[in-house]
Structure formats: C-alpha cells, structure tokens
Structure 1
Amino acid sequence: MAAFDQAQARGQTVIDIAGLSTRFGDVTVHDNLSMDVRAGEVVSLVGGSGSGKTTLLRQILGLERPSAGSVRVFGVDIHRADAATLQTLRNRWGMLFQHGALFSAMSAFDNVAQPMRELRALPEDLVRDAALLKLQMVGIAPSQAARMPADLSGGMVKRVALARALALEPELLFLDEPTAGLDPALSEAFVDLIAMLRREMRLTVVMVTHDLDTLLALSSRIAVLADRRLVAFGSAEEVVRVDHPFIHDYFLGQRGLRALQGMRDMKEHHYGK
C-alpha cells in the first residue's frame, strides 16, 4: 500500500493547529483556536470579513507567526523550523492564489516550469515534458502553452495557476477562493477539475472560499471562523445544526438552502437514498 493510502487509512494528521491565538495590537483575531486536517480530506475555511481565514492560511504556510500556539505541518512546527526544513516542507505543498498570481512576463509554460527549474534537479527536456503534462492535466493544450497571461481568459489563468501549484507533485494543496471571478459554468467545471485531480493525485486540500456551491461540492469538513474562534467544524450536515448567527445567515438563507438541497440531490443520485 502506498504511503498516502497508509496515512489515509490511519487518519493521519497532516496539519495540527493547537491553541493558536493571533493579536494585532489591541485587536484579537484568533483566540485559542485548535483544529486538524487529516490525510486525503478537503477542509474548507469559511467566515465573515475579518474572521481571520486568510490570516490562518498564511500562518499554516509559515508566512505569518501567531501570537501564541503552534502550527504543525507533516509533524513539523512550521514556526520553529529552520530555513532548510521550511523549504523542504514547501516543496511538499502547492498554492493556488485567488487571482492566479501568474508571472506576467512568463508564458503559461514557463509559469508551470518555473518551480521545477528553481529546484535545479531536472534536465530541461524533462522539465519541458513535465510542464506540458501538468498543463494537459488541467485542460491546457500544448498549442496554448506559449500564451502570455494577458492573453488568457480568467478560466485559463486559474487552470495554469493550478498546473503551477501541482508542478512539484505536492501532497498538500492550498486553494484561496479557487472559483472567484468565474461564471457559473466555468466555476462548476473548475470544481470538477479540482475533485478529479484530488482523486488522481491523492491530495489533501485546505481551501478558503465564499462560494457555497464550491464549498459543498468539495468539502469533507468545514471550519467556521467567527467571534475569534472556531464556532463549528465538521461535515456540512453537522455545521448547519450549530446555532450561530453566521451559520444561519450563510447556510440557511435562500441561496444556502438551495445549495444544500443541490448537494443532497447529488448524493442521492450517486449513492442512492
């Protein structure tokens, strides 16, 4: 059995956040927050503006340091690791930024090849083959690989950025508003792509999203941030049973109820009642 399968079978913890607090001057963003992410699941972070979703994501990535508590990724305290250990960890994850964050002076191909070239571990012919393969995996044909970011549609930018996030065959994928700016049809196609790649590449995923359809289609568990704490953490069915104003407004309004019903209909179609 592959290492990922063994980890998933044991429910191995990939990310462990314990007693995390974040303060900026007199403002407290997180107060004694604890949660985990297990191998093979998709954990989504949701919450209102200022709830600390992006701050928490940046702390998991090691870009910001919490005021107290710890963040362990693959068993390593991310804020106590030396530079070499941190770089090794970063090679094990990929990040899809909200607006793609492609290098504007590089072609789609070179954006995807860049992480491989940085490692300086592969000859250029293998980098070329690997980059084209990653682009093909996300639906970008070789004939489109030479295009510059300014010549790509919003959906294509997302796909190229996803290919770059997957360039180093990561075990862990971070998604920041993956469907933001896409129309409903493109959004649905992108969600299907992420779901397929997660299965094929056996990824563990941490996602920040405001989009209910994306959230319900992909999430194994949902972490709801409000009032400086984790007010709910579980499946969609478990979360909506928590009595909290944000959950009522977000999940149980008309749009939320439609999305929840759509999720239930999809499950019945695939698995039966």
Structure 2
Amino acid sequence: MSTPLKDAVRDLPLPAIGEPVIEVRNLTKRYGRNLVLQHLDFDVRRGEIVTLVGGSGSGKTTLVRNILGLEKPTSGAIRLFGEDLTQIAPADIRLIRTRTGMLFQHGALFSSLSVFDNVAQPVRELGKVPADLLRDIVMLKLEMVGLPCKHASKMPAALSGGMIKRVGLARAIVLEPEMLFLDEPTAGLDPRSSDEVVDLISTLHRALGLTVVLVTHDLDAMVALSTRVAVLAERRVLVAAPVEEVAGVNHPFIREYFLGTRGRRALQALPPERRAKLPGAALAPAFGTTGGSAR
C-alpha cells in the first residue's frame, strides 16, 4: 500500500451499529465449588467496540473463553453470530470461530517461527494455499498493521514489545474476521507504543468494519476506543453503557475505578460533548500521579 492505512481511512465513517452478534443470557460458570459467573447477561452489537473491565478474578477471561466456545458454561445460553454455542457440534463451533480473531496479552507468538510464519499459521491450518498467494496475504496484513515487510524474516526474540503486538494483530486479522477479541493489547508497553497500538486498533476498526471486544485495565485505551464499557463485578455485568454513563453509577468498584485520580484524568480526555455528561466527581482536578494508564 502506497498510503498508510490510517490516512487511507481517515475520512471513512465509523462502522454502523447493527444487530447483536454476541448474546449471553443467564450465564453461570463454576469450577468445582468456585463460582465465577452467575446469571450474567451481556450483548455486543455489530460494529461496536465494547470494553470489559473488572477487578482481578472478576471473570473477564472466563467470559471471553465461554463466548469463543473454548469452555462450556455451567448453565445459560451463548449465541455468537446467531448460533447457540451450547446447542451445536464442536466442529461447527470451530467454523464459527474462524469468523473471529484473537490478540493475546503478550502476543503469544510461536518463538520458533518467524514473523511471516506466525502470521501465516492460521491460513495454513485451513488447508493448502499457493505459496505466492500466502505471501501476498501475509505481507498485506503486515503492512496493514504498520510493519515493513523487511521484518517478515525476523524471529520474535528480535522484536520490541510494540512490534510483537503488531504481529499478533496481523495474525488476528489474517483470516479477515468479523470480530476481534483483544486481551490487554497495551499491557507492558511504554506510553508512546500504547498510543500507537490504540491508534492502530481504531484504524482497523474503521477500515475493516470490525466488531471489537476489548479486555483492558488501561483507562486511556478504554476511553479512547470504547463504544460501551461493560463492568464485571459480583459475578455479573453491573452495567454496559458509554463510559460517561458508567462513571455515574453508584457502586463501590465503579467509584474507585473511574473516579480515582487516573480514572478522572482519562475521562477528562473525552470530547467536550461527552465530557459534559460526566458526573461532577469525574471533573475534579486530576493531579498527583504520573503516567496515564491503570494497568
């Protein structure tokens, strides 16, 4: 591509919000005596970026694994792209899963494979693809995430943290999915690299019309990207709404998470029309700490 993707899509509208593509109803998940999720309801509509937030052990990863069909709920129903995952065969679940992409927290690249082979792996798993076509697919995806093709032959050990995230994103979109799941995409990155990854996610969302489910503790990323924020606490989703509405919910975890110094600083970066909807407590001066993210 002669023009960077960000510039090419700058004037494109955001994806239209459409029909529900994730519908979770009355979900309960337990491991032995450990009850993680209970009577949980959750929805994501096509074109949204929904961020899952919650304290450690609140069940964010468990919820994502159940949505992807990697685990079975103890009870309840999960519909992905209209299909009830609790009622269909494992082979059909795997087929539905090809319509999704996943970026893992630390990239989860295969250390023994080059950048090229890491990105190519999902394509190869689907069957034999002509070498020339495979090369074109991989190089296009690397370009889309801002990695020059000269890096294709490098091994993961030679990459910076930000480059690992980009390779992970290239692999996540290599099958042209409709939906992306991102697990702590900015974790472990310096502020500049974090901003670049957030910018890249926003660009891919706009360019590919993606639906995105984002798990993060990074308040800046959450505020910059989210259509809605879903707060997990007490084994359920307490609220799922635009962040300026969530910040006004009277709950101990929400007050601590969103109205502390870091939360206020992140919220005050909202555009003026959205900042005007924040509760007064969120507009108090946010001074006293360095750095802009809670991780």
TM-score (norm 1): 0.92
Residue deviations 1:28-60 (CA, integer Å, cap 9, x gap): 211111111000001111000111011101111
Is residue 2:174 matched to residue 1:167?
yes
1:256 counterpart residue number: 263
CA contact (8 A) 2:50 2:212 kept: yes
SS in 1 for 2:170: helix
**Cα distance between partner residues in 1 of 2:274 and 2:255:** 23
Query: Residues 44 and 9 from structure 1, CA distance in 2 versus in 1: closer, same or farther, beyond 3 angstroms?
Result: closer
Root-mean-square deviation over aligned CA pairs: 1.5
Is residue 2:120 matched to residue 1:113?
yes
2:38 counterpart residue number: 31
Aligned partner letter, 1:108: V
Gaps of 5+ in 1: 1-7, 269-273
Larger mean CA deviation between 58-67 and 157-166 belongs to 58-67
Pairing of 1:170-185 with structure 2 (within 5 A): 170-185=177-192
1:197 pairs with one of 184, 204, 218:
204
TM-aligned CA deviation for residue 197 of structure 1: 0.6
Query: Residues 200 and 65 from structure 1, CA distance in 2 versus in 1: closer, same or farther, beyond 3 angstroms?
Result: same
Is residue 2:82 matched to residue 1:75?
yes
Residue deviations 1:12-41 (CA, integer Å, cap 9, x gap): 110000010112222221111111100000
Is residue 2:100 matched to residue 1:93?
yes
TM-aligned CA deviation for residue 265 of structure 1: 5.2
Aligned partner letter, 1:95: M
TM-aligned CA deviation for residue 69 of structure 1: 0.3
Query: Residues 213 and 206 from structure 1, CA distance in 2 versus in 1: closer, same or farther, beyond 3 angstroms?
Result: same
**Cα distance between partner residues in 2 of 1:98 and 1:108:** 17
1:151 counterpart residue number: 158
1:271 counterpart residue number: none
Query: Residues 266 and 168 from structure 1, CA distance in 2 versus in 1: closer, same or farther, beyond 3 angstroms?
Result: farther
SS in 2 for 1:262: coil
**Cα distance between partner residues in 2 of 1:193 and 1:11:** 23
1:41 counterpart residue number: 48
SS in 2 for 1:16: strand
Residue deviations 1:80-109 (CA, integer Å, cap 9, x gap): 321321121111110000000001111001
Q: Could you list the structure 1 runs, at least 4 aligned residues long, displaced by more than 4 angstroms after superposition.
A: 265-268
1:18 counterpart residue number: 25
SS in 2 for 1:100: coil
TM-aligned CA deviation for residue 201 of structure 1: 0.5
TM-aligned CA deviation for residue 254 of structure 1: 0.8
Query: Residues 126 and 266 from structure 1, CA distance in 2 versus in 1: closer, same or farther, beyond 3 angstroms?
Result: farther
Aligned partner letter, 1:201: L
1:240 pairs with one of 239, 247, 259:
247
Structure with the higher fraction of residues in helix conformation:
1
1:229 counterpart residue number: 236
Query: Residues 10 and 179 from structure 1, CA distance in 2 versus in 1: closer, same or farther, beyond 3 angstroms?
Result: closer
**Cα distance between partner residues in 1 of 2:246 and 2:36:** 21
**Cα distance between partner residues in 1 of 2:151 and 2:52:** 33
Q: How many residues align?
A: 261
Residue deviations 1:153-176 (CA, integer Å, cap 9, x gap): 111000000000000000010000
**Cα distance between partner residues in 1 of 2:86 and 2:143:** 36
**Cα distance between partner residues in 1 of 2:127 and 2:28:** 38
**Cα distance between partner residues in 1 of 2:274 and 2:207:** 21
TM-score (norm 2): 0.85
**Cα distance between partner residues in 2 of 1:21 and 1:85:** 23
